[in-house]
Structure 1
Amino acid sequence: MKATLPPLPALAIGRYRHYKGQEYEIFALCRHSETEEVLVFYRPLYGDSGWWVRPYDMFTGTLEVDGEVKKRFEYIG
């Protein structure tokens, strides 16, 4: 691990809607202990499936759905 890490990117903490319609709560950004990859720490707001992490680049990325480019997760508050 580097002695000084670069700052984490900005990402609003709060609720997000996945492009498929389900809602999630984002708690923090963190780093992978081995690779230093930035991860998003979150949980689904449905069911009881626990806590998850997803790579920041994937979380904030876009994808094409039915010919339309959409954000994977959209901030809703």
Structure 2
Amino acid sequence: MSQETLAPFSTRSKSIKKGIYEHYKGNTYKVIAVGRHSENLEEMVIYQDCSDESKWWIRPVSLFLETISIEDKEIPRFRFLREVEL
């Protein structure tokens, strides 16, 4: 698919702010950007482990924004904490 026919990012992707997020297990991560998978164009979140900056992760937007069930309570997989300058 050429750049000319590439659809704009979804509203869900645009809702993801650059900044620090807390994973439901307690670790913190810095969201750097939202991009696309090179083969299937799936929207992906690119983020870095705050406790070890050598660790980078890429996760589909749908999984990054999903809620999970813990002890019959729905919570976000990642919770936004604050914006940071990149």
CA separation in 2, counterparts of 1:46 and 1:5? 35
Residue equivalent to 2:59: 54
Instruction: Provide the identity percentage.
Output: 36
TM-score by length of 2: 0.82
Residue equivalent to 1:6: 7
Residue aligned with 1:53, SS: strand
Structure holding more helix per residue: 2
Residue aligned with 2:38, SS: coil
Residue equivalent to 1:70: 75
- CA positional deviation for 1:47: 3.0
Q: RMSD in angstroms over aligned alpha carbons?
A: 1.3
CA separation in 1, counterparts of 2:67 and 2:41? 22
Structure 1 unaligned regions, length at least 5: none
Residue aligned with 2:5, SS: coil
Structure 2 unaligned regions, length at least 5: none
- CA positional deviation for 1:5: 1.6
CA separation in 1, counterparts of 2:6 and 2:53? 34
